[in-house]
Each structure stands twice: as structure tokens, then as C-alpha cells.
């Protein structure tokens, strides 16, 4: 969800978890992918094959396909 540009508050609402939980997970992803922001993290994930551009295709509900 973060890779598609979803705001923290949108993720909180969608997953019914706390804002601090989302922020903790996002920071963990940044650390693991050695990215300082979402763009850099997504770039590293694409380069490593963790994500593909097909992951960002729209579905009926506007969510990326997994």
C-alpha cells in the first residue's frame, strides 16, 4: 500500500491498525531496502525483484495486484 503512495492515515483505516504500527513497519521497510523515502525504497524493491511494475496495475477496487 505504501508503494502505491497511500497515505499513512489511509493505510491505518484500511488495515484497522494504529498509526504508530504503520509508521514502524514503513521505517522497517526503509531500513531493509536501504531507502530514505518511499521512492528510493520502491526503486530498490523493483531492482531486487521484490516488486514488479505489474504490481501497480489497477484492480476493480483500485488496489495493486499482488
Look up the CATH number of the domain holding residue 28. Answer: 1.10.10.10
| Angstrom distance (rounded) from CA 41 to CA 3 | 8
Q: C-alpha cell of 19?
A: 498509526
Mean pLDDT throughout 1-9? 79
Is 62 a domain residue? no
Is 40 a domain residue? yes
What local confidence, expressed as pLDDT, does residue 57 receive?
Answer: 62
Q: C-alpha cell of 59?
A: 484492480
Is 8 a domain residue? yes
The number of domains in the chain is: 1
Rounded to two decimals, what is the model's pTM? 0.65
Is 59 a domain residue? no
With both helix axes pointing from N to C terminus, report the angle between 19-33 and 38-48 in degrees, rounded to the nearest 10.
Answer: 50
For 25, the domain range is: 2-54
Confidence of residue 36 (pLDDT cuts 50, 70, 90): confident
Amino acid at each position: 500500500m505504501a508503494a502505491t503512495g497511500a497515505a499513512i492515515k489511509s493505510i491505518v483505516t484500511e488495515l484497522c491498525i494504529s498509526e504508530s504500527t504503520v509508521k514502524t513497519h514503513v521505517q522497517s521497510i526503509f531500513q531493509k531496502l536501504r531507502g530514505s523515502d518511499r521512492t528510493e525504497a520502491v526503486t530498490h524493491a523493483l531492482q531486487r525483484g521484490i516488486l514488479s511494475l505489474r504490481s501497480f496495475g489497477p484492480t476493480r477496487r483500485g488496489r495493486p495486484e499482488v
